[in-house]
A and B are shown apart, each in its own frame.
Chain A
Amino acid sequence: MTLALPWRRWGRTAPTKTRQRYPAVVVLAMLFIVFLFCIFCFADVLAPYDYRAQSLRHRLAPPIFLGGTGTHFLGTDELGRDVLSRLIYAIRFSILVALGGTAIGALVGTMLGFLAAHFRGLVEEIIMMLADVQASLPFMLIALALIAAFGGSFLLFIFIMGFYGWEIFARLTRGVVISAQGQGYATAMTALGATPWTIYTRHILPNIMSVLIVQFTLNFPQVILLETSLSFLGLGIRPPLTSLGQMLGAGRAYLTTAWWIAVLPGTVIFLTTMSISILGDWIRDRLDPTLRGSSS
């Protein structure tokens, strides 16, 4: 008998046809995410300059591939700040916001979903009504109102990002938990004297984890885009802090004369959201037994 590992099943290859297990796009997306993660972790070491240091004498210097000097590899912005250093820190802040925001949203939403599924009745009605309210309003509007009301500190901004997408997690969790409650193993554990808490945390949560992970990867790029939009409007991350959206917003005035200030962060946003979407799609296909083997 071979060793029993669940991932054996995921990576199973059909004996007759040789199947490419990792499509090239997925590998590229993975590499890009790893690359971003390295930048996220080692921003202090990687950035050649302080991202806030201004040098008005060297403002709007072109990047090296447009005939610039080696001192500012990707040129400088309108205040003479090094674009490469700002880009590195922008990636750090944007990922921090998106990761924190998505994590808060996932946590809150999942918990509310569990509560709704457990208590049903009035609790469920209220939670689902709140979810409906949020889903029926454009989130941009909610975010603008919250920022206008409470001001724009960095932590608050992460919290607002966390507000985004909780309703999807809540709805999703409620649905899968209710269906899992009807499963034999849940009934069996109840009959053996397990408390609902034990059953939820140790039996149902691990079973629905794949669904939640996929939702996480779908939510993440959306939060990055949202952060970008808000920062672009000047309502998100504020100078001297930097983020991808903030760089994009600040650089748009110089699009004709110094396009690199806006285009470089724009490219990073584009590649990031695309990579995560590709990975999310791929993970979903791998985890869904009905799709397994049909794709790639």
Chain B
Amino acid sequence: MAPILSVEGLSVGFLTDLGFRETVHEVSFSVERGKTLCIVGESGSGKSVVCQAILGILARNGRRTGGRVLFEGRDLCTFSEREMETIRGKGIGMVFQDPLGSLNPIHTVGRQLRETLILHTDLDERGRQRRAVELLRMVGIPEPERRLASYAHQFSGGMAQRVLIAMALACNPKLLIADEPTTALDVTIQAQILDLLNRLKTEIGMGILFITHDLGVVAEMADDVVVMRHGRQVEVGSIQDIFVRPQMAYTQELLASMPHLNRKAPIYRENA
């Protein structure tokens, strides 16, 4: 089966005070239907920039400099801004790192959900309301009818992230991009959100492109893994390949950087 998304030799550059600099160099990977691809790498390795480039929401000074982004066989790089607006939300949904900041503080979550539905569906007022309740129930928010009237500040981080997942899934996208969705959450909530994403993946059959720096999360989520460093793709492979038989030195180091139960952190070792 053809992959939902395949990125071929994607390069991105930014115009800075020092002139135009390419920061992401020739990244290639593909996301299959019903599978999760994790991009893992340290801070500043270019993970988020790759996602933004896929959706065409790079910062004002950023630009794709090469490569293709094939979504269902069509190259998104050739799309106009108007065509991209129909892909965003409807074809590809996205969830961000900071859940509470991603909700507008002055609108109720119900209004924001309904607005997402206005963008891409023909549902009428009642239909939107019904769908909004359905979505909140789907992401496991109790008493969805009442929670629709709440504001962002009345939600905890985990609940807000569920709302954002609901918004991203409102129009049944084929692909969900999750840019470090659990980084701002504590560990128990993190596990719940990951479970939720895994459940939705099998229920809806969408592909997930998951960005993280946490190898524990990778182990839990990924079918395939891309390791990135300094804007370059270091290694690509299935989860088995990467965790059991890492080929590149950086991947091995990355795996070794995970703390182990039976080994103390270096700072304590020296004093002991």
Enumerate chain A interface residues (CB-CB to B < 8 A): 1, 4, 6, 120, 183-185, 187-195, 198, 202-203, 206-207
Contact = CB atoms under 8 A, between A and B. Distances in A.
Contacts of B151: 4, 6
A207 B104 contact: yes
A183 B101 contact: yes
Contacts, number: 72
Given A192-B167, A198-B115, A203-B107, 18 more contacts: A4-B149, A4-B151, A6-B151, A120-B60, A184-B96, A184-B98, A188-B103, A188-B167, A190-B88, A191-B89, A191-B94, A192-B94, A192-B119, A193-B87, A195-B85, A206-B106, A207-B104, A207-B106
Contacts of A198: 115, 119
Contacts of B104: 185, 189, 203, 207
Interface of B: 55, 57, 60, 85-90, 93-94, 96, 98, 100-108, 115-116, 119-120, 146, 149-151, 154, 164, 167-168, 170
Contacts of B98: 184
A274 to B, nearest CB: 31
A191 B106 contact: no
B116 A192 contact: yes
Contacts of A185: 101-105
Contact of B88 (A184, A191, A202): A191
A120 B108 CA distance: 31
B11 to A, nearest CB: 21
Given A185-B101, A192-B88, A193-B90, A206 B107 contact: yes
Identify which of B57, B60, B106 gathers the most chain A CB atoms within 10 Å of its CB.
Answer: B106
A202 B170 CA distance: 19
Contacts of A207: 104-106
Contact of A4 (B103, B154, B168): B154
A29 B41 CA distance: 60
29 contacts: A1-B146, A4-B108, A4-B151, A4-B154, A6-B106, A120-B60, A184-B96, A184-B100, A184-B103, A185-B101, A185-B104, A185-B105, A187-B57, A188-B102, A190-B57, A191-B88, A191-B96, A192-B88, A192-B89, A192-B93, A192-B94, A193-B88, A193-B90, A193-B119, A194-B85, A194-B115, A206-B107, A207-B104, A207-B106
